[in-house]
Amino acid sequence: ETGVTQSPTHLIKTRGQQVTLRCSSQSGHNTVSWYQQALGQGPQFIFQYYREEENGRGNFPPRFSGLQFPNYSSELNVNALELDDSALYLCASSLQGRDTIYFGEGSWLTVV
């Protein structure tokens, strides 16, 4: 158990819809990162939040957005879903400046 929880675990959406994925970070961790992992691929960095501010972004379009709350939990929002958005979305929490990072079990998103 890493202490990082994600919800929902599985969901199916229709192309063009919007989705919100949630992450509760490990106690005391102030940094949350989101990764997208397509089937058979390694995780790709989407963005990172530190103290409620975006602190780095990967090569993802603006329809991928996020939030971090005062308790350090986080949301990933994806608008105008496309078929290629189907993937496992992983949340990771850490303490800024430290190397230890903990991943949640992920949210499986299928876009049909």
Residues that bind another protein (CB under 8 A): 2, 4, 31, 33, 35, 40-45, 48, 55-56, 58, 88, 90, 92, 94, 96, 99-106, 108
**Minimum gap (Å) between residue 3 Cβ and another protein:** 12
55 versus 73: smaller Cβ distance to another protein: 55
Longest distance between any two alpha carbons in the chain, whole Å: 39
List, in order, residues 6 or more apart from 11 with CB less than 8 Å away: 19, 107, 108, 109, 110
Confirm if 35 and 23 have CB atoms less than 8 A apart. no
**Minimum gap (Å) between residue 104 Cβ and another protein:** 5
**Minimum gap (Å) between residue 14 Cβ and another protein:** 23
Provide the 3-class DSSP secondary structure of residue 16. Answer: coil
15 versus 51: smaller Cβ distance to another protein: 51
**Minimum gap (Å) between residue 97 Cβ and another protein:** 8
68 versus 94: smaller Cβ distance to another protein: 94
Tell me the C-alpha distance between 68 and 11, whole Å.
22
Radius of gyration of the chain (CA): 13
